[in-house]
Protein backbone atom coordinates (compact mmCIF):
# COMPACT_ATOMS: atom_id res chain seq x y z
CA UNK A 1 0.00 0.00 0.00
CA UNK A 2 2.82 2.43 0.88
CA UNK A 3 4.66 1.58 -2.33
CA UNK A 4 1.51 2.16 -4.40
CA UNK A 5 0.85 5.59 -2.89
CA UNK A 6 3.98 7.29 -1.58
CA UNK A 7 2.29 10.71 -1.38
CA UNK A 8 -0.48 9.61 1.01
CA UNK A 9 -3.11 10.93 -1.35
CA UNK A 10 -5.26 7.83 -1.74
CA UNK A 11 -4.79 4.27 -0.51
CA UNK A 12 -2.03 5.18 1.90
CA UNK A 13 -4.22 7.82 3.53
CA UNK A 14 -6.29 4.94 4.91
CA UNK A 15 -3.35 4.12 7.17
CA UNK A 16 -3.88 7.53 8.79
CA UNK A 17 -7.18 6.43 10.36
CA UNK A 18 -7.03 7.60 13.97
CA UNK A 19 -3.85 9.61 13.51
CA UNK A 20 -5.31 13.14 13.34
CA UNK A 21 -6.73 12.86 16.86
CA UNK A 22 -3.94 10.53 17.98
CA UNK A 23 -1.19 13.01 17.16
CA UNK A 24 -3.12 15.77 18.97
CA UNK A 25 -3.47 13.56 22.06
CA UNK A 26 0.27 12.83 22.03
CA UNK A 27 1.16 16.51 21.70
CA UNK A 28 -1.36 17.96 24.14
CA UNK A 29 -1.02 15.30 26.84
CA UNK A 30 2.75 15.51 26.63
CA UNK A 31 4.87 13.12 24.62
CA UNK A 32 5.45 9.96 26.60
CA UNK A 33 2.16 10.03 28.52
CA UNK A 34 0.59 7.83 25.84
CA UNK A 35 2.33 5.50 23.44
CA UNK A 36 1.70 6.17 19.77
CA UNK A 37 -0.56 3.10 19.64
CA UNK A 38 -2.58 4.22 22.66
CA UNK A 39 -3.09 7.69 21.19
CA UNK A 40 -4.05 6.30 17.78
CA UNK A 41 -6.52 3.92 19.46
CA UNK A 42 -8.20 6.91 21.11
CA UNK A 43 -8.13 8.63 17.72
CA UNK A 44 -9.74 5.66 15.98
CA UNK A 45 -12.61 5.62 18.47
CA UNK A 46 -12.99 9.42 18.23
CA UNK A 47 -13.05 9.25 14.41
CA UNK A 48 -15.62 6.44 14.52
CA UNK A 49 -17.83 8.42 16.92
CA UNK A 50 -17.53 11.47 14.66
CA UNK A 51 -18.52 9.30 11.69
CA UNK A 52 -21.63 8.14 13.59
CA UNK A 53 -22.50 11.76 14.45
CA UNK A 54 -22.22 12.65 10.76
CA UNK A 55 -24.37 9.70 9.70
CA UNK A 56 -21.50 7.92 7.96
CA UNK A 57 -21.12 4.88 10.24
CA UNK A 58 -23.72 2.73 11.95
CA UNK A 59 -23.81 2.16 15.70
CA UNK A 60 -23.11 -1.58 15.44
CA UNK A 61 -19.83 -0.91 13.61
CA UNK A 62 -18.92 1.72 16.23
CA UNK A 63 -19.60 -0.82 18.98
CA UNK A 64 -17.40 -3.36 17.22
CA UNK A 65 -14.56 -0.83 16.82
CA UNK A 66 -14.81 0.13 20.50
CA UNK A 67 -14.81 -3.54 21.55
CA UNK A 68 -11.71 -4.28 19.46
CA UNK A 69 -9.81 -1.28 20.85
CA UNK A 70 -10.88 -2.22 24.40
CA UNK A 71 -9.84 -5.86 23.84
CA UNK A 72 -6.40 -4.63 22.79
CA UNK A 73 -6.14 -3.01 26.23
CA UNK A 74 -6.26 0.54 24.87
CA UNK A 75 -8.17 3.55 26.18
CA UNK A 76 -11.32 4.66 24.37
CA UNK A 77 -11.73 8.15 25.80
CA UNK A 78 -9.88 11.39 25.29
CA UNK A 79 -8.10 12.65 28.39
CA UNK A 80 -10.46 14.88 30.41
CA UNK A 81 -8.03 17.78 30.48
CA UNK A 82 -7.92 18.29 26.69
CA UNK A 83 -9.96 21.32 25.66
CA UNK A 84 -11.83 20.98 22.34
CA UNK A 85 -10.38 24.29 21.08
CA UNK A 86 -6.86 23.04 21.83
CA UNK A 87 -7.61 19.83 19.94
CA UNK A 88 -8.78 21.75 16.87
CA UNK A 89 -5.72 24.01 17.02
CA UNK A 90 -3.48 20.96 17.29
CA UNK A 91 -5.17 19.31 14.29
CA UNK A 92 -3.78 22.11 12.11
CA UNK A 93 -0.24 21.07 13.02
CA UNK A 94 -0.91 17.59 11.66
CA UNK A 95 0.65 16.87 8.26
CA UNK A 96 -2.79 15.87 6.98
CA UNK A 97 -4.19 19.40 7.43
CA UNK A 98 -3.69 19.97 3.71
CA UNK A 99 -4.03 23.50 2.44
CA UNK A 100 -5.15 24.76 5.84
CA UNK A 101 -8.12 22.37 5.86
CA UNK A 102 -8.72 19.79 8.56
CA UNK A 103 -8.54 16.29 7.15
CA UNK A 104 -10.09 13.30 8.89
CA UNK A 105 -10.07 9.67 7.83
CA UNK A 106 -13.51 8.46 8.93
CA UNK A 107 -14.80 4.89 8.84
CA UNK A 108 -17.87 4.16 6.72
CA UNK A 109 -17.95 0.50 7.77
CA UNK A 110 -15.43 -2.04 9.01
CA UNK A 111 -12.58 -1.95 6.47
CA UNK A 112 -13.86 1.05 4.50
CA UNK A 113 -13.01 4.71 5.13
CA UNK A 114 -13.64 8.11 3.63
CA UNK A 115 -11.24 11.04 3.66
CA UNK A 116 -13.10 14.19 4.71
CA UNK A 117 -11.45 17.54 4.03
CA UNK A 118 -14.44 19.83 4.37
CA UNK A 119 -15.28 19.67 8.07
CA UNK A 120 -15.43 23.07 9.74
CA UNK A 121 -13.61 24.01 12.94
CA UNK A 122 -16.99 24.81 14.49
CA UNK A 123 -18.41 21.38 13.70
CA UNK A 124 -15.33 19.60 15.04
CA UNK A 125 -15.16 21.73 18.18
CA UNK A 126 -18.89 21.19 18.82
CA UNK A 127 -18.44 17.43 18.42
CA UNK A 128 -15.59 17.31 20.93
CA UNK A 129 -17.56 19.48 23.37
CA UNK A 130 -20.24 16.77 23.74
DSSP 43-88: HHHHHHHHHHHTTSS-HHHHHHHHHHHHHTT---S--TT--HHHHH
The rounded distance, in Å, linking the Cα atoms of 76 and 65 is 10
The CATH number that applies at residue 117 is: 1.20.1090.10
Residue 65: inside a domain: yes
The rounded distance, in Å, linking the Cα atoms of 117 and 92 is 12
Q: What is the pTM of this model?
A: 0.86
Residue 4: inside a domain: no
pLDDT digits 0-9 by tens, 58-92: 999 999 999 999 999 999 999 988 998 999 999 88
Q: Report the number of distinct structural domains present in the chain.
A: 1
Residue 2: inside a domain: no
Residue 1: inside a domain: no
Residue 101: inside a domain: yes
pLDDT digits 0-9 by tens, 8-36: 445 666 788 999 999 999 999 988 899 99
Q: Which domain holds residue 25?
A: 11-128
Residue 98: inside a domain: yes
Q: How confident is the model at residue 103 (pLDDT cuts 50, 70, 90)?
A: confident
Amino acid sequence: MVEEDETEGGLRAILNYGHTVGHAVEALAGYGKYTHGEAVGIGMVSAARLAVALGLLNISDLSRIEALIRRAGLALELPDNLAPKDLVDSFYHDKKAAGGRLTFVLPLSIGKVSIKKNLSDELIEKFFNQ
